[in-house]
């Protein structure tokens, strides 16, 4: 039952009011302290003070100044609920023309819990038993005041069909607990309760720990450097030190070094612990050394692969009169035309190594036709170089003399 506490400030005056649920405390004109429960109405009653007296109230929640109301020849200061409902120490000081008075009122929280506030973080932790989430549980009364120290709080933890309970005692208005990660991945369900009051369920996700070293393998349909097919790199199932498969989306960096020591990179993300990447075959014979890594965490083995020439030779026909050079047909290892778009390079230079023109054209139906520029004087000595798919042909061209290479 809610009570109204009256703290009467006068000289040696104590009064019980029959037929009411109010209590007036006799308090001398010195520093005093009274105690009430949160939710009780709080009034200070004074006699023999001026009407313009003011009461300054200071609590953990707010600071305010109250004016008195004259009731039955006494001056009454009634505290607003937003102050009297909040637990903690409340201090007051009366500013009166005759003499200042001051005192304290301690507001105790309710004894029965109404709600439980839970805070948990971080919500994602690494497997292995070294990382943890922190749970803070605060049982409160109906006015949102934390309960008194000494209240017992039961913490429930559920993981992989195993339920554990632990009883903790409130200290400094709360209880706390470290929720240690497990060796396996999964969800840890956590809740707390006081008497018949229960908190909401909270979840801490245990994710895989750092990945460990892994292997890669190469898959390709043939070994030829045709610039068309793809080579697939595939990792083994990547796991952490506790045999958990790494999280989907883990980025894997693939490194490819060719025979000229050029380094290329490509990336793949894991799905079910496996990452894949595809590489287009080179357009000329080459050897690659391929490895993979998860930067700063894990490395793979190295794999060396070789690409064979897809063509051994091709035919070149020069037509000086029409200033044209025809290349082809370009046929692959099965005798078929190379894929349309295969690049053919023509370079025009001289014996001194100077380069005057450089052209690149894609093939179509295995053929490429170059048109020699009009400003190219065929009376001079030029060296023509044609390259495609790792095969190089070099020849010179004289006017009025067709060449067949």
Element housing 360 (H / E): strand 355-362
Distance separating alpha carbons of residues 85 and 79, to the nearest angstrom: 10
pLDDT value of residue 248: 96
> 65 is written with which tokens?
């100044």
DSSP secondary structure letters along 29-43: SS-EEEEEETTSEEE
Same domain, 322 and 295: no
pLDDT value of residue 5: 46
pLDDT value of residue 404: 53
Same domain, 187 and 265: no
DSSP secondary structure letters along 152-207: EEEEEEEETTEEEEEEEE-BTTBEEEEEE--SS-EEEEEEEEETTEEPPPEEEEEE
CB contact at 8 A, 180 and 140: no
Same domain, 181 and 143: yes
> 112 is written with which tokens?
């029965």
Q: At which of 276, 308, 340 does a domain end?
A: 308
- C-alpha distances in angstroms, 252 versus 78, 248, 258, 342, 386? 69, 11, 20, 31, 39
**Residue 200 maps to which CATH number?**
2.60.40.10
Element housing 84 (H / E): helix 81-84
Distance separating alpha carbons of residues 394 and 346, to the nearest angstrom: 10
Instruction: Give residue 137's domain range.
Output: 115-207
Distance separating alpha carbons of residues 171 and 165, to the nearest angstrom: 19
**Residue 367 maps to which CATH number?**
2.60.40.1930
Q: At which of 108, 132, 148 does a domain end?
A: 108
Q: At which of 70, 89, 108 does a domain end?
A: 108
| Chain centre to alpha carbon of residue 47 | 65
In this prediction, the residues of the chain whose per-residue pLDDT falls under 50 are: 1-30, 400-402
Same domain, 12 and 91: yes
With vertex at residue 226, the alpha carbon angle to CA 223 and CA 231, rounded to the nearest 5 degrees, is: 50
Q: Which residues contact 66 (CB under 8 A, 6 or more apart)?
A: 54, 55, 56, 57, 77, 78, 79
DSSP secondary structure letters along 264-297: EEEEEE-BTTB-EEEEEPPSS-EEEEEEEEETTT
Same domain, 356 and 304: no
Same domain, 279 and 348: no
CB contact at 8 A, 328 and 374: no
Element housing 102 (H / E): strand 101-108
Same domain, 78 and 168: no
Same domain, 42 and 93: yes
Q: Which residues contact 28 (CB under 8 A, 6 or more apart)?
A: 11, 12
Same domain, 333 and 273: no
- Whole-model pTM: value is 0.73
Distance separating alpha carbons of residues 73 and 67, to the nearest angstrom: 15
Same domain, 162 and 70: no
DSSP 346: E
Nearest to 12 by CA among 48, 54, 53: 48
pLDDT value of residue 29: 42
List the helix and strand counts (H, then E) for the chain: 1, 36
With vertex at residue 136, the alpha carbon angle to CA 135 and CA 141, rounded to the nearest 5 degrees, is: 140
How many domains does the chain divide into? 4
CB contact at 8 A, 332 and 338: yes
Same domain, 102 and 16: yes
pLDDT value of residue 16: 29
DSSP 331: B
Same domain, 52 and 86: yes
Q: Is the dihedral of CA 166, 169, 173, 179 positive or negative?
A: negative
């Amino acid at each position: 039952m809610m009570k109204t506490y009256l703290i009467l400030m006068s000289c040696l005056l104590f009064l019980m009011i029959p037929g009411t649920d109010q209590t007036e405390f006799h308090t001398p004109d010195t520093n005093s302290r009274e105690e009430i429960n949160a939710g009780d109405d709080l009034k200070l009653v004074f006699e023999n003070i001026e009407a313009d007296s003011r009461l300054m109230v200071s609590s953990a929640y707010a600071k305010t100044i109250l004016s008195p109301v004259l009731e039955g020849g006494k001056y009454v200061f009634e505290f607003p609920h937003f102050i009297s409902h909040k637990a903690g120490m409340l201090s007051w000081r009366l500013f009166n023309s005759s003499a200042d008075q001051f005192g304290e009122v301690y507001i105790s929280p309710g004894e029965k819990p109404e709600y439980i506030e839970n805070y948990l973080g971080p919500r994602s932790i690494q497997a292995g038993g070294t990382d943890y989430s922190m749970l803070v549980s605060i049982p409160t009364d109906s006015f949102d005041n934390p309960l008194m120290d000494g209240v017992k709080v039961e913490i429930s933890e559920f993981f992989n069909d195993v339920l554990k309970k632990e009883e903790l005692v409130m200290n400094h208005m709360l209880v706390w607990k470290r929720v240690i990660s497990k060796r396996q991945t999964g969800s840890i369900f956590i809740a707390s309760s006081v008497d018949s009051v229960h908190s909401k369920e909270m979840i801490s996700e245990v994710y895989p720990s750092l990945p460990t070293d892994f292997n890669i393998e190469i898959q390709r349909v043939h070994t030829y450097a045709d610039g068309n097919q793809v080579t697939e790199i595939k990792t083994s199932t990547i796991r952490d030190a506790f045999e958990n498969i790494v999280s989907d989306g883990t980025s894997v960096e693939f490194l490819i070094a060719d025979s000229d020591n050029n380094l290329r990179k490509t990336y793949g993300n894991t799905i079910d612990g496996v990452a894949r990447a595809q590489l287009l075959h080179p357009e000329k014979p080459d050897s690659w050394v391929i490895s993979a890594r998860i930067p700063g965490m894990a490395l793979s083995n190295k794999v060396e692969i070789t690409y064979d020439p897809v063509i051994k030779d091709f035919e070149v026909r020069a037509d000086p009169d029409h200033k044209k050079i025809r290349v082809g047909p370009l046929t692959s290892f099965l005798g078929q035309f190379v894929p349309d778009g295969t690049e053919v390079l023509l370079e025009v230079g001289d014996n001194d190594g100077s380069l005057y023109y450089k052209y690149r054209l894609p093939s179509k139906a295995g053929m490429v036709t170059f048109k020699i520029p009009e400003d190219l004087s065929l009376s001079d000595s030029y060296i023509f170089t044609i390259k495609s798919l790792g095969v190089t042909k070099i020849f010179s061209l004289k006017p009025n003399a067709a060449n067949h290479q």
